[in-house]
Structure 1
Amino acid sequence: MHAETETTGIPEYDVVVVGGGPAGATAAYDLTKSGRKVLLIERGFRIKPCGGAIPPRAVEQFNIPSEQIVARIRSARMISPADQRVDMPVGDTYVAMVDRDKFDPFLRERAVAAGATLQIGAYKSLVYQEDGRVRLRYLDKSGSGGEHEVVASAVIGADGAKSRVGAQCIPGGDKLKCVFAYHEIVEAPQKEQGADYDEARCDVWYQGRLSPDFYAWVFPHGKHASIGTGSAQKNYSATAAVEALRKDVGLDTAKTIRREGAPIPMKPLKRWDDGRAVLLAGDSAGVVAPASGEGIYYALLGGRLAAEAINEFLVNRNPAALKLARKRFMKLHGKVFFVLGLLQRFWYGSDKRREKFVKMCRDPDIQYLTWQSYTQKELVRERPTAHVKIFFKDLAELLGLARA
């Protein structure tokens, strides 16, 4: 990115946000509400494969209206390679389910209602002007076509795991490790159809035949259901795995509404900014939780933290402010991501280990701490004896002292 002479006569913004998913739309909304002139560029409203789960904290923290919640989950069921089935009731709370084909547009429309400008387009490149601002080029995909330019004081790249903004601007931005995820949205069955399905339960399948290094899922979406899986292995067929799972649960004849596939990041990038005026958020920054694959809440939060950092940058013109987004995110969730990364690398390594992992999920302390950490989005501290018990139980499994 070389500097170029300032250009006049083209649209100017405080911030250009590239990508209109949960991270980008939230950043655009927050920045617009704080008085910034924002352009939100969305490539084409492509729907990302996603189980759709968000914790109650996300509903409260980001003012998600009840009409966006298509189901309320009261339990999860873990299925092992040997078909061991462990129910994990949520307790006195719930897990909210959203459908991305409605949820993402809602977030974008909220940003537009707040004052952001929405442009259907594809990011092409950016350069720095001599005045320190960014000149960004995009391809108009709204019908008129052609390449256009805008000038902005800052740019947020929220354009997904294979972020073009990140690849061009951020050191290491083109080396994000990913799992390829695929799901099919189908019509939810009626009770009389006899499918192995519960509209208030998420089923998580830990079986190597369905995913050699991740998991497969059946998640209710109200009138629909998401059936999906993922893997980082190149020779893996996600479509074949989903076909097998649909037969297993009796949804092979259910009407398919749509099919979606995309890379899902599994580890946050070490750097989210370019030290000048560009900052990443959401999948572009790698903020999807290892082991669980949860990304919506972290994308929403990442977008908000990016907006806060950009606001501070615009006020003091100090590029060091851009680093605050990652610093604040990792302070809140870095430990959880580290622990989940260890869990995935060990417990998902073989069917023998998956069997032990599902068996451990019977432990009431594990169930309690899992749901409390998920719904509250922080490590639970009020039951230290439970943590100690789980630590020694985990250690026994690691050392092979416990039988599956």
Structure 2
Amino acid sequence: MAEYDVVVVGGGPSGATAAEDLARSGRKVALLDKAGRIKPCGGAIPPRLIADFDIPEDFLVAKITTARMISPTGRRVDIPIENGFVGMVDREDFDEFLRERAAGAGAVRLTGTYLRIDRDGTGSAVVYRDKVSGEETRLTTKLVIGADGARSNVARDEVPGGDCIPYVIAYHEIIEAPAAVGDYHPDRCDVIYDGRISPDFYGWVFPHGQKASVGMGSLVREVDLKKATADLRIASGLADCPTIRREGAPIPLKPLERWDNGHDVVLAGDAAGVVAPSSGEGIYYAMAGGRVAATAAAACLTSGRVKDLRLARQLFMREHKTVFRVLASMQNAYYKSDERRERFVSLCHDVDVQRLTFEAYMNKRLVKARPMAHLKIGLKNLAHLTRLVPKAYT
């Protein structure tokens, strides 16, 4: 039986980041991943992710300089991204790059399906079904990082509350879209706030260089995800573009209250629920979650104190809690009806809203340098929610 300091279950951005960080610190790490799965994702990453995680520029398939918000009545608000850009990646290539980088740092890559964690008097073992042999295989380990997605089996089995995390179902289609056509432009991300596409979330059309991601998400089970996506393609002039692949998966709506089992397991990424409310942004927060999980695991291994596993959630929330609360408030306020969505897009006309939104997006923190702008935005937000401003406000 192999003996590891940490077994990381799940090879997405969160798990691969945790495995790489631990391997670089000299820990013996196994990275267990189920091959062949690509998460549906718009693929947007901010400049801070590129800097913090040393992502080579050649993995960016596009640099977006404009974001377009589209309301239920078809109103379009184009927001220029000043002093920066939104980087776009294709998850098929990006995730594999992160896994390979973890392996290059010393992590052992294994392919199979997680089954359970067995424990006896001598320690813990991750049991998985090997993809090649089909046999159950055991990996003895001191700690486990569960980074196996929104419906995490590790979280369900090991962490209180891990079996009831709320999520939306996301679906997208990767299509060929090499140039401007119809309402589509390869330098612009479109975000569609329309109850006919999604009654409680949004749709998107995101360029990926020679490709594009067209999709949507919803918590409402009766929504026809494929029809909504087909409607998006028609509206954007992309209906006749060849489809490369189709993908669907859950996206969590809020962080779990607890990320560890108080013994030998800590969660990371979607398994811990760290997707930004309102925007659904997950790649940066998944990698940040993987990093703090690795930090907590390393602290626990060094000190022998299982309470150090709590550091993962503490460190993450110390930096991102306020942003998550603000975004959750926006989602609760504006995603309830088309009338509210119309007002939200109207609010996006405001230059202060545009600048502070993208400064916060690119830097992953609320901008504190302009208190008067925050005050103005707060008053305008209140005016919209109380209907003191007509929907036609620009």
Q: Any conservation in 2 of the 1:29–1:116 contact (CA below 8 Å)?
A: yes
One-letter amino acid of the structure 2 residue matched with residue 155 of structure 1: V
Contact 1:41/1:121 (8 A) holds in 2: yes
Q: CA deviation at 1:200?
A: 1.1
1:281 alignment partner AA: A
The match for 2:275 is 288
Q: Which whole-Å CA distance do the structure 1 matches of 2:16 and 2:242 have between them? A: 31
| Counterpart pick for 2:373 among 366, 386, 401 | 386
Instruction: Please name the residue that 1:95 is paired with.
Output: 86
**Which structure 1 residue ranges, 5 or more long, are not aligned?**
1-9
Query: Which contiguous aligned blocks of 4+ residues in structure 1 show a shift greater than 3 angstroms?
Result: none
> Which runs of structure 2 are paired with 1:230-269 in the superposition (5 Å)?
230-269=217-256
Show the counterpart of 2:25. 34
Q: How does 1:213-224 map to 2 (within 5 A)?
A: 213-224=200-211
Local SS of the residue matching 1:168: helix
Following TM superposition, by how much is the alpha carbon of 1:129 offset from its aligned partner in structure 2, in angstroms? 2.8
Equivalent residues in 2 for 1:6-45 (5 A)? 10-45=1-36
In the other structure, the counterpart of 2:168 is 179
Q: 1:190 aligns with which of 162, 169, 179?
A: 179
Q: Tell me what 1:157 maps to.
A: 146
CA contact (8 A) 1:189 1:251 kept: no
Letter in 1 for 2:308: A
- Tell me, in whole angstroms, the C-alpha distance in 2 between the residues paired with 1:97 and 1:212: 26
Letter of the structure 2 residue corresponding to residue 137 of structure 1: V
Which whole-Å CA distance do the structure 1 matches of 2:2 and 2:371 have between them? 56
SS in structure 1 of the partner of residue 320 of structure 2: helix
Q: Which residue of 1 aligns with 2:103?
A: 112
2:298 aligns with 311
**What is the distance in 2 between the residues matched to 1:45 and 1:160?**
14
Task: Please name the residue that 1:324 is paired with.
Answer: 311
Deviation at 1:243, TM superposition (A): 0.4
Secondary structure of the structure 1 residue equivalent to 2:250 = strand
Could you report, residue by residue, the CA deviation over 1:345-380 in whole angstroms, capped at 9, with x for unpaired residues?
120110001111000001000001000000000010
Q: Percent identity?
A: 54
Distance 2:269 2:153 in 1: 14
CA deviation vs aligned residue, 1:98-143 (integer Å, no higher than 9, x gap): 0000000000000011111101111101123324x311111001x2
Letter in 2 for 1:110: R
Question: Residue 62 of structure 2 is aligned with which of 49, 66, 71?
Answer: 71
Letter in 1 for 2:53: F
Cα shift readout 1:198-237 (whole Å, capped 9, x = no counterpart): 1111000000000000000000000000000000001111
1:190 Cα offset (Å): 3.0
CA contact (8 A) 2:178 2:186 kept: no
Q: What are the superposed Cα offsets for residues 162-203 of structure 1, whole Å, 9 maximum, x if unpaired?
A: 100000000000011000000000001434xx3211111100
User: What is aligned with 2:159?
Assistant: 170
**1:45-60 residue pairs with structure 2 within 5 A?**
45-60=36-51
Q: Does 1:339 align with 2:329?
A: no
Whole-Å Cα distance in 2 between the matches of residues 256 and 245 of structure 1? Answer: 14
**Which of residues 243, 247, 264 in structure 2 aligns to 1:277?**
264
Indicate if the aligned counterparts of 2:72 and 2:338 stay in contact, CA closer than 8 A. Answer: yes
Query: Which residue is equivalent to 1:372?
Result: 359
Q: How many residues align?
A: 391
Query: Which AA in structure 2 matches 1:170?
Result: V
Is residue 137 of structure 1 aligned with residue 161 of structure 2? Answer: no
Task: Report how far residue 45 of structure 1 moved.
Answer: 3.2
In 1, Cα distance between equivalents of 2:272 and 2:155: 8
In the alignment, the residues of structure 2 paired with residue 399 and residue 208 of structure 1 have an alpha-carbon distance, to the nearest angstrom, of 21
Residue 191 of structure 2, aligned match among 181, 204, 210: 204
In structure 1, how many angstroms separate the alpha carbons of the residues matched to 2:283 and 2:179? 28
What CA distance in whole angstroms lies between the structure 2 residues aligned with 1:128 and 1:232? Answer: 36
TM-score by length of 1: 0.96
Distance in 1, Cα, partners of 2:178 & 2:19: 38
Whole-Å Cα distance in 2 between the matches of residues 45 and 152 of structure 1?
Answer: 25
Describe the SS at the equivalent of 2:228.
helix
Q: Which amino acid aligns with 2:387?
A: G
Q: Residues 332-354 of structure 1: CA distance to partner in whole angstroms, max 9, x if unpaired?
A: 11111111111111201100011
Structure 2: distance between partners of 1:398 and 1:129? 57
Following superposition, the deviation at residue 266 of structure 1 comes to: 0.9
CA distance in 1, matches of 2:120, 2:368: 50
In 2, the alpha carbon distance for the partners of 1:320 and 1:129 equals 21
- Structure 2 residue identity aligned to 1:254: C
Offset from partner CA, 1:10-30 (integer Å, 9 cap, x none) = 111000000000000000000
Cα distance between partner residues in 1 of 2:336 and 2:219: 12
SS of equivalent residue, structure 1 residue 172: coil
Amino acid paired to 2:105:
A
What TM-score do you get using the length of structure 2 for normalisation?
Answer: 0.98
